[in-house]
Chain A
Amino acid sequence: MIFLAAAGLVMLLSGLASYYTTQQISAFAVANLVAGPLALVAAGVVQTRRVSGFSGALSRRVLLRQTALVGVVAAAVVVSNVLASGWTASLDLTADRQYTLADQTLGVCAQIGKLPEARRPSLLFFEDALIAKEVRLRIAGYEAHCPIETRTLREAQAPPEARPILSEFETTVIACLGSRCEAVGYPSEGNITNALLRLTRASTPVVYFMLGHGEVNLSSEADHGFSALAGALRDEGMDVRGILGPAREEVPADADVLIVAAPERDLLPDEIESIDAWLEAGGRMLALLEPETASNLVELLGRWGFDLPPGVVADERVSPLLVDATPLSLLLNQFNGWHPITRKLSHRHMVLLPSARPVFAARKPMPDDRLEALLFTHKTAWLERDPAAARSGHGAGPDPAGPRGVPLPLAAAGRYPREHGEARIVVIGDADFASNRLLHTLYNPDLLLNSVLWLAEDEEQIALRPKGPTPDQDPLTIQQTLAYFYFLAFALPEALLLLGIHAWYRQRG
């Protein structure tokens, strides 16, 4: 009987080991996983018949009572597990709060909750996908907080509307609304939320980029390119178009927002005039201006109340986040807490501007106009009048006679009620912070995308976006790591072993 039990156990463990190592149910595994439990059951039956030592009534009663006790406790354990399985209380202790839904996601979920059932999207989660285990917790967060249907299924069970996507991409999550489905790329919270946002957006704001004067390159995927910016706007459900330039005489009628990003050359007088007229008619513009940009755009913005003195802002506090940081790279956490664009950004949130010029909300062109600064430097910052010299490390430094201890504004927004509608303008004294290299750094995307959403009057979507996990580098040197390693991985166990030898020696004595 003992041999039968041992053989059954060995067969069962061999079958399991072959499955765990290969993750396949081979013929070997099947044979062992069937024969092993059968042998164990047979041994158990034989053993039950041979139970001895319980011949007396008292001991039989004890046997019955203890068997019942174990049965009751086992049943209680099962019931408590079943009850607990429906309770999703959890505590996210990850450094980046990776499994806590971000402000933007909760906002999107709240808006979905206001939609009728038929217009609510659903999430298809494929549990047999390669990285399904990593995503399961995130999907559970959507299940708990978002009024959408989440379906966990295998790829073979995918509904017909999702099959074309599965035949084209390897994906873990698909977002669907009726027959319209979208593959979520890497299933990060940001990507899942953006897919839900695109499916549920009632309208699609049209964003035009002005081109033709040396502005940012929207198609370049290099570090200094801006393809990520165009992608981020599309992810927010916007229609991004790049037109205008010298050939255009008027801003297109369907433009919701016009973005002028770091033009290197002056705009044509006709273009300046047409933008001015468009703004007067209630147009919306975002201007991203580099410190060296000498463009007549500065004059246009001056007419709308913005003062953009030439120069670059420097700060004694050098940002630790850039490898090539200089006093010009600004790590900022002073925001206007009242303006819709920056209301959700507090001193705990930071943006990184690699070099910026000051932007003063200087005067109101009309009494009802309202201009506000959005983002400020620390009090330790100063203005370098010669950007080229400052970049080469030969800046004049803080002017002892000049004003110090005053934060300088680096972004401002204005709203201008006019006869044909309200014009809105946002000016940010830097463009590089939105480049591919830095767009997804800290809260840079939130400053930029929230500005565009405010301009497009889509203020409900203004939020702080989910952040991906930070690829932290262990800041200890290899020597420090090794020193700790020697002490804690060798010296400590060595001491424990010596204690063990001492215990053995005493026991022997």
Chain B
Amino acid sequence: MRRRIAALFMKELRSLFASPIAYVVLTAFVSLSAVYFFQHLISYNQLLFAFQSEGLATTDFDQGTVPLQINTLNELFMPFAGDLHLFLLAVIPLITMRVFAEERATGTDELLLTTPLRTWELALAKHATTYLFVMLLLGVSAIYPAVIISKSQLGMAHLGALYLGQLAYGVAIAAIGLACSSLTRSQVVAAIVAYAVPFILLDFAWLDPVLTESAAGILSGAAIQPHLDNFARGVLEFRHAVYFGGLTVLGFTVSVASLELVRAR
């Protein structure tokens, strides 16, 4: 069984890297994350310089002192995490849209579904390939911030927490994207729905005015944003890992169920 899954995993991996789209996505993600990290780093240093220099600080703060809220957390890690989060949302559906939908559109899924492979093995191989790609995206994009942070001693562990959060989030939205791809034969529909679901799940604060406090609390627990913030703050919390793990498991289950239904037809 393990060998069958490994063979399918390798096939998926080869097919992913045989197409230029993986490289284009990787290039775009790595470039954008490096440019935005660089921008935040430069503006943080400029802000510090302004506050630390006599006569330059024009706010209510004393000259030569740095206000408490000007720190690496607020000026570097939080905005960078916000950028990564958006970039992941932008690129992951581009990768997931083709995984199942393309096979259904070209009819090769029938070939796969008639093999002795179980549907969950099929789904697992495809999910694992995509998760590996998300890890690669984040791993390569982490090189530049990691070099700067380690040279500057600004908090490597904090950066690690931030990236772990992005990885949990990336894997979860990849699972959602794969679930969407498994439900349709149109790659465009798969991509649109894969963009829409995380966007809708992002935050439910807009419903607060029409909900009771307890209902708002429950919906807040289901939203992505409150679970993502603490990773960027440098704190790993078990409950947030459970949340993203749950989304991933749910996405995987929908993919398996969808393949079973296709097989049953």
Contact = CB atoms under 8 A, between A and B. Distances in A.
* A joins B in a complex: yes
Contacts of A253: none
A268 to B, nearest CB: 36
Interface string B227-265: 001100111111100110011011001101110110111
B242 A88 contact: no
Interface string A127-163: 0000101100100000000000000000000000000
Interface size class of B (residues with CB under 8 A): 35 or more
Contact of B152 (A65, A73, A475): A475
Most chain B beta carbons < 10 A, residue from A16, A133, A472: A472
Contact of B23 (A63, A99, A470, A499): A499
Nearest to B71: A469
Contact of B41 (A63, A88, A131, A474): A474
Given A98-B73, A500-B27, A59 B264 contact: yes
B31 A490 contact: yes
Interface stretch (B3-11, B104-112, B200-208): B200-208
A474 B148 CA distance: 8
A24 to B, nearest CB: 9
Interface stretch (B14-22, B89-97, B127-135): B14-22
Nearest to A489: B34
Nearest to B70: A471
B234 A94 contact: yes
B216 to A, nearest CB: 11
B30 A66 contact: no
A493 B25 CA distance: 10
A473 B154 CA distance: 8
B79 interface: no
Contact of A476 (B152, B238, B250, B256): B152
A94 B158 contact: yes
A81 B242 contact: yes
B261 A66 contact: yes
A473 B249 CA distance: 42
B41 A481 contact: yes
A110 to B, nearest CB: 23
B87 interface: no
A221 interface: yes
A89 interface: yes
Contacts of B143: 488, 492
A134 B74 contact: yes
Contacts of B19: 503-504, 507
Contact of B155 (A81, A87, A95, A476): A95
A142 to B, nearest CB: 15
A221 B62 contact: yes
A406 interface: no
A91 interface: yes
B192 interface: yes
Interface size class of A (residues with CB under 8 A): 35 or more
A73 B120 CA distance: 14
B259 to A, nearest CB: 9
A81 B239 contact: yes
B72 A66 contact: no
Contacts of B237: 88-91
A25 interface: yes
A322 interface: no
Nearest to A468: B68
B44 to A, nearest CB: 7
B24 interface: yes
A89 B20 CA distance: 43
Given A137-B233, A469-B71, A471-B48, A507 B238 contact: no
B26 interface: yes
Contacts of A188: 68
A174 to B, nearest CB: 19
A260 B256 CA distance: 77
Nearest to B179: A70
Nearest to A62: B264
A216 interface: no
Contacts of A54: 261, 264-265
A88 B260 CA distance: 38
Given A503-B17, A503-B20, A504-B20, A492 B30 contact: yes
Contacts of A58: 264
A92 B148 contact: no
Nearest to B230: A137
A84 interface: yes
A507 B143 CA distance: 29
A2 B212 CA distance: 34
A503 B18 contact: yes
Given A59-B265, A66-B260, A473-B45, A91 B235 contact: yes
Contacts of A490: 31
A89 B200 CA distance: 28
A169 interface: no
A496 interface: yes
Contacts of B236: 90-91, 93
Interface in A93-109: 93-95, 98-99
Given A25-B209, A67-B257, A85 B239 contact: yes
Contacts of B51: 471
25 contacts: A9-B196, A16-B202, A65-B260, A77-B247, A81-B221, A91-B235, A93-B157, A93-B234, A95-B158, A95-B234, A469-B68, A469-B71, A472-B72, A472-B154, A474-B44, A474-B45, A474-B152, A475-B153, A476-B148, A476-B151, A480-B151, A496-B26, A497-B27, A501-B20, A503-B23
Q: Which 6 pairs, one residue from A and one from B, show the smallest C-beta to C-beta distance?
A: A500-B23, A489-B34, A95-B155, A77-B246, A94-B234, A66-B257
Interface of A: 6, 9, 12-13, 16, 19-20, 25, 29, 33, 53-54, 58-59, 62-63, 65-67, 69-70, 73-74, 77-78, 80-81, 84-85, 87-95, 98-99, 131, 133-134, 137, 186, 188, 221, 223, 468-476, 480-481, 484-485, 488-490, 492-494, 496-497, 499-501, 503-504, 506-507
Given A94-B158, A488-B144, 12 more contacts: A6-B192, A53-B265, A91-B235, A98-B233, A186-B68, A186-B69, A469-B73, A471-B66, A476-B148, A481-B38, A489-B31, A490-B31
